[in-house]
Structure formats: structure tokens, C-alpha cells
Amino acid sequence: MDGTLLDLHFDNHFWLEHLPVQLAKQRNAKPEDISAYLRERYTEMEGTLEWYCLDYWQDHLGTDLVALKHEIADRIQIRAHVERFLESLHERGKRVVLLTNAHQKSVGLKFGYVALEHYFDRIITSHSLGLPKEYADFWRKLSEVEAYSPERSLFIDDNLHVLRAAQAAGVKHLLAIRQPDSKLPPKDTQEFIAVECYTQLLV
């Protein structure tokens, strides 16, 4: 979802800029000290379910992250032409499933600001399966709750580790995102073909 359907700028700005400043105000500390601590924790937790878990970070940091996210909700933006792409999938009779590592509270918050939820036949969070998409067992558990044909499925993601896990699980059609955060330079998607703009998929 984040970086694929939505501009990753919201999340990067929240976790790297807005949150350190707000925590520093709450604790009468220096933002740069809070930022250094958070970056260290992010690195330690990256790729785990807790890294994506809003409840974990709220408990760990002792602050209302949902409320803080609402403060900058104007930065939640749908990527260009995403809606037309999703519409085209329905026009072709495709089943559209959102697989996201985002916590349920984050999904609910963002869909409260952008009208995308109705495009999906089903939404499956990694928290509901107990594992992030980077893990092989996520894909095994997915097949138990959502019947799909890996060789006929298209999966798009901005995370190369996730794409490699999907590939190992047998998903045949894989696409990366060239520029997940509109405010940062495009990234090297290595072995994966990248989507520059969703109009590329409107054929």
C-alpha cells in the first residue's frame, strides 16, 4: 500500500521528521537526539512484524501515534493514475486483493482520507497472518486464506525483500515501484521491472 498505491512521503516524513520533533516536545529533549534513537531502533526492528506494528511503537514510545498521524494527514496522497489502474482491473473482471504490511490502524486512518478501499475485493494485513510479507510463511499462510494462482497473479510492491519472498513463493508476475517517495530520487529496483507510472499498465 505505502509506496505502491500511496506516496511513501507521508510515512517517511512522519517517522523521520514529524515524530522526532513531537517526541522531543513531549520529553523536553533535543529532536536530533530523539531522531538518532529512533533511527537506531528502526534499524534493529526492520523487516519484523513489530517494525510495522503501530501498537508496538505506541507502547514503546508512550505516545498516541494515530493522533500524531492525523496532524499531517494532508500529506497522504494517492499515487498518480492508481485509481484508473484499479478501475481497469475491475473492468477486466480481475480479483483485486490488497496485501499490506501496514498495521490495521494505519490502513483505517489512510482510507479515511483517500477513497481507495472500495476498489479491493479483500484487504489482508500481515498482522492478520502474524508475519510480514518478507517471510516465506506469510505466503504459505496467504494461500490458506486466499485462494490464488501464483503463476497467474500480478504482485506489485516497493520493497525488494518482499518481491523476492513473493518470487520464492512462486508468484510469476512481479513489478517494483521506481519512485516510492515522490520527494526522493528514483531507486534501483535491481532484478525487477519497475513501474514508472501506472499509465504503463493501462493497455
Q: State how far the Cα of 89 lies from the Cα of 96, in Å rounded to an integer.
A: 7
Chain centroid, CA 153 distance in Å: 19
- pTM of the entire predicted model: 0.94
What are the domain boundaries of the chain? 8-74, 78-201
Which residue, among 164, 169, 163, 99, has the nearest Cα to 140 in the 3D structure? 169
Q: How confident is residue 14, by pLDDT bands cut at 50, 70 and 90?
A: very high
Residue 24 neighbours by CB under 8 Å, 6+ apart = 30, 31, 33, 34
Task: For residues 160-189, give the mean pLDDT.
Answer: 98
Q: What pLDDT score does 67 carry?
A: 97
Each residue's pLDDT tens digit, 77-133: 999 999 999 999 999 999 999 999 999 999 999 999 999 999 999 999 999 999 999
Q: Which CATH superfamily is domain 78-201 in?
A: HAD superfamily/HAD-like (3.40.50.1000)
Q: State how far the Cα of 11 lies from the Cα of 14, in Å rounded to an integer.
A: 5
Q: What pLDDT score does 110 carry?
A: 97
Whether 203 shows a pLDDT value over 80: the answer reads: no
Q: State how far the Cα of 38 lies from the Cα of 97, in Å rounded to an integer.
A: 32
Q: What pLDDT score does 150 carry?
A: 96
Give, in degrees to the nearest 5, the angle at Cα 69 between 161 and 176: 25
Cα torsion at 29, 30, 35, 38 (round to 10°)? -20
Give, in degrees to the nearest 5, the angle at Cα 112 between 16 and 183: 35
Task: For residues 158-179, give the mean pLDDT.
Answer: 98
